[in-house]
Chains A and B, each alone.
Chain A
């Protein structure tokens, strides 16, 4: 095991291919079109922040990347593999459940509402997936969990239940839980939106640390400060489309679209 458990994946694979590629991704819920053709490329070690008003499809797009939602049109690749499908003989074939799970196991996800397992202690939350999915030996998983909880500043709380933690602490455990699968990509779905203002900083601190260690990250957020300082690129979505994207400072300082300008004037 390497010294830094969460930077283990960065050297794997050819450095050239992007980590995530989206081409014309469409998603419908019934007759409601939530995504209307999203294109995106995320390079290795890149941190992409997605901003936009609620209902713009940010979270849905994030959930498509690990196949929690099936896309209706377009293509999505993570690390060169098509998400949820296999293409041969000119047709797409759905992956079996086991194969979908294997794809998801390499993508970490952090939710707005933390979604820690309330019937398990902090350390049990962290080792659950490594033991059940990766079939890691329990002692190894605990050792890994200890390291990750140490990095997220939660080592002291290893044996308490999530209910006994503050929101910020719960989210830091949730990040450690996702990292325990040693993912090559981390998805954050508004990780600080459910937190008291004074607890936001501790979670953003962990995420900044993670970004600096070289993790590829896609972050749906309303924290413009984080997007500006930590993000390598920024994407503004509205009504199922990417309105504009580019370097965060550029987009935040000189938005080129009226829609972006109108949104930023309300949140900044």
Chain B
């Protein structure tokens, strides 16, 4: 930080630094050096500001953006219904992906060569073909298996259904997105499990815990710290990948606005409407991720990072109590 804080100029009066724990000898004078100048930063700042101003100007004055149309459709029931389906698709597909990912990762790390091999083939197949193709195959499953039935393998069946009626577009989308996600999540979970020191499972086993309990209580909770950030990434990615379901006639957000602009030809304003919603949901997911990460960070650092609310409180309280205590470490260093 360059600028010295307001109160620090008063620091020479002895009583104001009473909160330091260091012994206040006569030599411990606070350093007030002239900061290094950064002329390059000023140039860069001007360039960025000009580009930004041009952008804002264009957004405000180019009438073809048709912001009134955006406003008109932003909260319309058809767009909101599309948004709802997008969120539903994301949540359900990610849930399937995470559960499947944990199962596949554990299989992959199993001693049993059959299980680890099966997991390897699953991951190979579902990562190796495009999601769009997988969606289309699920959507057209009826061509392959006109009837789906439950029963004894190669024996009599108990229940049977028409695949066309059973596999609705929405179900096809969930299967396509969820099963594909499982393959990616498997690798993420596996990385997390491998990141936990082996001594941890050894200590758990020495205490008499079974391998299942060890995994659930000791290894996975610690693996979460490594698993969460890429999973947040995957969730945000899934939110947008779910728009692929528009090709198999699921009226999620993109297909909902496509249906509207195919009638009124207001293509760009409606795509902007959808994009704003995607940005809003992505922002909410990012905030959620921050708090989940914070939860699983317990015990890993000596202090948890502050939540934004705590940071604001901290800022306000230092702001009022002038002069600020010189012992306060730089941003985010303190804690409760």
Contacts and interface: CB of A to CB of B under 8 A. Distances in A.
B206 A104 contact: yes
A213 interface: no
Interface in A50-106: 66, 68, 97-98, 101-102, 104-106
Contacts of A121: 299
Contact of B199 (A101, A105, A113, A120): A113
B210 A97 contact: yes
B180 interface: no
B209 A111 contact: no
B310 to A, nearest CB: 19
Interface string B175-209: 00000000000000000000001011011111111
Chain B interface mostly? helix
A150 B292 CA distance: 34
A177 B211 CA distance: 19
A162 B203 CA distance: 15
B305 interface: no
A129 B207 contact: yes
A257 interface: no
B57 interface: no
A162 B221 CA distance: 15
Given A117-B200, A117-B218, A163 B207 contact: no
Interface residues of B, number: 24
A4 B205 CA distance: 26
Contacts of A68: 202, 205-206
Given A132-B217, A162-B299, A177 B207 contact: yes
A178 interface: yes
Interface in A97-147: 97-98, 101-102, 104-109, 111, 113, 115-121, 128-129, 132-133
Contact of B208 (A113, A116, A133, A162): A133
A119 B225 CA distance: 10
Q: Which of the listed residues B200, B202, B204, B207 has the most CB atoms from chain A within 10 Å of its own CB?
A: B207
B111 to A, nearest CB: 12
Contacts of B302: 163-164
A161 B207 contact: no
A181 interface: yes
Nearest to A107: B206
A15 B320 CA distance: 72
Interface size class of A (residues with CB under 8 A): 20 to 34
Given A113-B199, A132-B213, A118 B207 contact: no
Given A132-B213, A161-B299, A115 B207 contact: no
Given A97-B211, A102-B208, A104-B208, A128 B217 contact: yes
A106 B208 CA distance: 8
A38 B217 CA distance: 36
A119 B221 contact: yes
B2 interface: no
Closest 5 CB pairs of A and B: A105-B208, A115-B203, A129-B207, A161-B299, A109-B206
Interface of A: 66, 68, 97-98, 101-102, 104-109, 111, 113, 115-121, 128-129, 132-133, 161-164, 177-178, 181
21 contacts: A68-B205, A68-B206, A97-B210, A101-B205, A101-B208, A101-B210, A105-B207, A115-B199, A115-B200, A116-B203, A117-B203, A118-B222, A119-B222, A120-B299, A121-B299, A129-B209, A132-B209, A161-B299, A163-B302, A178-B207, A181-B207
